[in-house]
A and B are shown apart, each in its own frame.
Chain A
Amino acid sequence: MRRAGLWRRLLGRAHEPETVSPQDAPVSVGPEPDPEAPPERDPPPAPEPLARLDPVPPGLRPDLVIPCHNDAPGLVRLLARVRRLECFARIIVVDDGSAEPVEEVIPPAPDLTILRHDAPRGGGIARNRGLIEVTADQVIFADADDLVLPEIRALLADLAQAGPFDICQFRYADSRVAEEGLWGHPDWDERFWEGADHVVGALRALPDDLWPVLAQTANYPWNKVYDTAFLRRHGIGCATTAVHQDIPLHWMSYLEARRVLVSDRVCAWHEVRERGGRLTNRSGRERMEVFDALDPVAARIARAARPDWEVAFADFTLGLIDWGAWKIAPELEGELRTAEAHWLTARVGPWMDRIAAADPGLAARLRARMG
């Protein structure tokens, strides 16, 4: 059954279902209509907007995959913005066990596919499920509480003329940065963009010696355009862990890519809430699963035996575990640090000679953490 009340709250009156049940019919409280009165006129047409979004330029038309768990308002906001952009072939929403099914909130549309897990299985599994359904040559992920920004249209138009690529990483705007009156991503990501020598440039091919630098940016799934066949050919997807599911998608994409493009265009808006049910706010034992998410990447880097990747991933890992230690409940931090020592010894230990030669400071920090 559709829920008209929720419809009204989320979409406004203009989008209400046309059918009204007898008990929902409005009750007349005014005088009876005068049968002699002239018929009501249609409301005047709305004036043309003085400013309009330009038509979408010809470009790639990727599918958009959106996992959603109990965030109907965010999804409605995102879909409204995405539809105006008119640049996606299809929108695939994976309802990850929302208490109120997405299908009861979002009206059906030809360009919209809604899949559902009856019980929550996590964002990683939801993204993987959506990826299976993708039919476009490229795919972009978005989270229900974030936004895709209009610059994506220019980027997709540029990409249509850029030749084959496996991934294209673009910039994003973060609500914490916006709160300080600025626009863009936080400093901790900016330093890697600067390190990769790409702060200015609408679209460039990134030299492969800089891939390990940019791979150390936050492992978000929604700041890239992915070639669908590339992901499938290498079996790349998200981890099925409770947290940090995006680590394999991000790192394996860089590790397996043959051509990486980068763009300084700000194409996504990341909304950060310090409280609430987002994964970043989890503090329980599930934080220990970070090592399961790191494992496949460590195994792939071990096969490559390239010091630049070993240094980049080891440095990233230390920062990530420190972040997890800040998030995890205090009574679990000791357990996390013990697991860290074991994991580093087993996975990073064999790389230590090469890391020490390339970055002695990092090697010293790793040894201290290995215990």
Chain B
Amino acid sequence: MSEHGVIALDGMLVPLRDGAVSELRPLDLPGTEMAPGVWLHTDPEAGISGQWSSPRGRLCEIDITVDAPGRWLGLHVALPPFEADAVTWLGIALRVHAARPLALRPCLRSGTDEGFVDTFFDRHALARTAETDHHGVLAPDRHPDLPATAPWRELILFLPSGESLSLALHALRIFAL
């Protein structure tokens, strides 16, 4: 197990944390690069439009109008390489609010030779109309299917893909212990 204490894994979010994109921008479909290594991916078969921005002091605001539901919609954050069996917990902490209550499903995606493996955190995060804090951990040794090594990994926040939504992600920290 790691003897390094807390290891920050969210370096890709720094540009958004610094408010790099304050003006509203339309979504590029099916993938919007919000910062290097940070993407909003939508199902190409979905009928979706929307816009996003990264206001000062928060990571992003996302407005999405769904005309035809898709199979997925997720915010992907590339993680630096780490050996899963060398950490006790992979953790996230986030602050969020939304125009209507939404369930967000955090997931660790690990690349494999065949594609990828998704490992979901045990608890979803609930976005409410008031700002809400959420924290959760994923213990790799409790998930035998989670690859110990992977050529790439992402933290994904899956959003509801079948309804229009408006969401502000104030903060997201990703860490290993």
Q: What residues of chain A have their CB less than 8 Å away from a CB belonging to chain B?
A: 57, 151, 153-154, 157-158, 161, 177, 182-185, 190, 193-194, 199-203, 264-266
Contacts and interface: CB of A to CB of B under 8 A. Distances in A.
A153 B53 CA distance: 19
Contacts of A199: 97-100, 129, 166
Contacts of A182: 128, 130, 132
Nearest to B133: A183
Contacts of B53: 202
B63 interface: yes
Contacts of B99: 194, 199-200
A182 B131 CA distance: 8
Contacts of B71: none
Contact of B132 (A183, A190, A265): A183
A266 B95 CA distance: 13
Nearest to A190: B129
Contact of B56 (A177, A193, A200, A202): A202
A158 B56 contact: yes
A27 to B, nearest CB: 48
A5 B168 CA distance: 47
Contacts of B61: 200-202
B58 interface: yes
A240 B61 CA distance: 42
A84 to B, nearest CB: 16
Nearest to B58: A202
Given A183-B132, A201-B168, A266-B131, 5 more contacts: A153-B57, A154-B55, A154-B57, A184-B131, A194-B99
A183 B167 contact: no
A158 B63 CA distance: 20
Interface of B: 22, 53, 55-58, 61, 63, 97-100, 128-133, 166-168
Given A177-B130, A183-B131, A184-B131, A200 B58 contact: no
A202 B53 CA distance: 10
Given A200-B61, A200-B99, A202-B61, A57 B129 contact: no
Contacts of A157: 56
B8 to A, nearest CB: 13
Nearest to A198: B99
Nearest to A153: B57
Given A183-B130, A183-B132, A184-B130, A203 B98 contact: no
Given A177-B130, A190-B130, A266-B131, A203 B55 contact: yes
Given A200-B61, A202-B61, A57 B132 contact: no
A201 B28 CA distance: 20
A48 B66 CA distance: 49
A12 to B, nearest CB: 30
23 contacts: A153-B57, A154-B56, A154-B57, A158-B22, A182-B128, A182-B130, A182-B132, A183-B130, A184-B130, A190-B129, A190-B130, A193-B129, A194-B129, A199-B97, A199-B129, A199-B166, A200-B63, A200-B97, A200-B98, A200-B167, A202-B53, A202-B168, A203-B55
Most buried by A among B53, B63, B98, B166: B166
Contacts of A203: 55
Contacts of B58: 202
A200 B168 contact: yes
Contacts of B131: 183-184, 266
A133 B154 CA distance: 55
Contacts of A154: 55-57
Contacts of B167: 200
Nearest 3 interchain pairs by C-beta: A184-B130, A202-B55, A154-B57
